[in-house]
Structure 1
Amino acid sequence: MHFSSKSRNSLSFSRFESDKKPSLTRQMAEVENMNSVPASEDTEYGFKRPEMYSTNIANSITSYGRHVFVLYKTPEAWPSHVEEQGLPQRFATLLNDRKSDLLVQTKLNVCEGGGSDGDVLLFPDMIRYKGVKDTDVEGFVEDVLVNGKASSSGSQEDISGTFVFVCTHTSRDKRCGVCGPVILERFQKEIGSRGLSDQITLKRCSHVGQHKYAGNLIIFSPDSVGKITGNWYGYVTPDDVPELLDQHIAKGEIIQRIWRGQMGLSEAEAEKMITNGNKEESKGFTGGCCKGTKGVSCCQEETPKPEPIKKEGRKCTIWFQPLDKEEFYIGAAVVGAIATIAMAYTFFRRSG
């Protein structure tokens, strides 16, 4: 993914769910029925809430290299911590137990099943594993996520095209529940009017972290050279959807003002992308985070703190935090004042 204006010649996608995918009319009807939040709540939970655009969100996701989506029921049936029940719980537990063995840092989310509960989507691998059962998860994690091999249980198929996951996890945070369905509806209308319904797959997904950035979404799509990237966006509104389709999906260009980060990038690489895109320097970020079973989480951590610097001696270990600029100046002023008093006192004694 890049920041230039170079566009791809064409969009090359394929249908993801042929027989099981509902018609566009039916999808829109489902979203409209779901989107029954009173307009008065828009200022508290929706796009008019005061916190919108209050924080620079660039580079606000932790570095990771793989994303697992488990198809499981619908958002209406998800509890606040959907990773604590059924198949998602099995995945969360094993990913936590084997986290030191995983090939790359891996995130886990749940997305709506749509009649395909138990299927698993893997990005950037672009593979769909069908009908994974509770008893298959241990072998799946061992084969696919630890050893990088094909799963020994269940069938699999390659997938292609663009996948858009919109957070609509209202039982976790109402901001996601208010903003997500409206964004999803706009996507469906734009996709339908552009004739892209066979080329882009839309899915409602569980909480992705940082509630305050709602609307939150993740787009997995080929960049200008065909590499699959997973880009996170926050503070998304329905008015941003046409630009996401025209600029990000069609041209492979980042929309900087609402960009949170990209799967596969280190912090340094993400900062370089921001700099190259003339993005203003990040001033940090704040916000809540969810914690899943045994600490496994798909969420971005809260405000990052400086890593303590470890100094080792022969028999002891000292941990300290580096002083910031203000603390340094205050300390220097105090030391200077003490030195001045000491010199004055010495002079007074000598002269007396």
Structure 2
Amino acid sequence: MNIAFKQSVYYAAGLVLMKGVSFVMLPFITSSLSTAEYGRLDLWVSLLNIGSILLGFGLIEALYKQAGEAKGNAFNTLNSTATMQQLIIAAFALLASLPVGVAVYVFWPEISLLDLGLVMSTLIFSAAFNIPLTWLRLIDDARSFFLMTSSKAILQAALTYWFLQQGLGVTGILLSGLLSALYLSCSLLYRQWRQLPFQWDAAVAKDMRRYGLPIVASGILLFIAAGAERWILAATIGLESLAIYALAMQFALIIVFVCEPLALWWYPKRFQILNQPNGKQTTARIAETLSHATLFCAVSLSVVAPLIIEWWFPTRYSEAATWIPWLTLGIAFKQLSHILTTGCYVEKQLESC
């Protein structure tokens, strides 16, 4: 667990910086945008979330699973194949972006085409850095993971501040996301290419697609269960109420942030641990520790978060304090379901899930 602790310290430092910067920016963002604009921003974020599930194609989970069994050159081939496959998917997404954009505009004519273009471009560049970022975790290079993700967070926060000061509103925030994603994808792809020449194994690629497809389907279902409600809220009670819900959800998601440092180390490594002597017992112990931390965080957050909203945020968001305990409970149960799913991936197929 010594290695796990060292790796988790880097992950924790990176997450504190990334999430901390985002959290500190929240009062400024909510003050700079009207509640309707903040609600519209949340809709774009939810579109980014579902888009990342589709473009991710379950390749990260497939890479985790197969990396636990690959050694030596097979490990390098696996990672480079995953990266190339992700880039192919991003290229297809780029080709599909124009007809998709036209279709969205036909059914939603009041949409900002500029904002839509920024969101779709961000999705494509974000897909490009998914696998290289996962590769850093697989090779236990937590230091580089920290430097790359933290620099992206700082760049995005600085650009967001500047664009909001210039009065660009939601468009400025989306533009900062695109530019920071472009920076991270180019940096990571160049780094991986220098250390791991790209190779392609058709059989490995086929196995990853077959393994990843059910994960994409389950991700879409999870989004429908917890994510699509934003669009329902926007259509039924308006963007202003959606903004209050979105702010409350930002606090509820702190649960994921607090538990993530160890999870960032454990998720890529859990199959390797599972294959070691006494692997099942070790895996169960780590999952139990994460579960206890999740529940403790949920209780603490329900008490502290309403006070922060009262002190730091405009009064028009005060209603969010009453929503936090319920959203916190839901996020806690969702986090527990992710923590305890390792058994579903033990077999070669996913029928047990």
Relative to its length, the structure with more strand (as a share) is 1
Say whether the fold is shared (TM-score over 0.5). no
Task: Mark the structure with the bigger radius of gyration.
Answer: 1
TM-score (normalised: structure 2) = 0.26
Q: Which structure has the higher relative contact order (CA within 8 Å, separation 6+)?
A: 2
Relative to its length, the structure with more helix (as a share) is 2
TM-score (normalised: structure 1) = 0.26
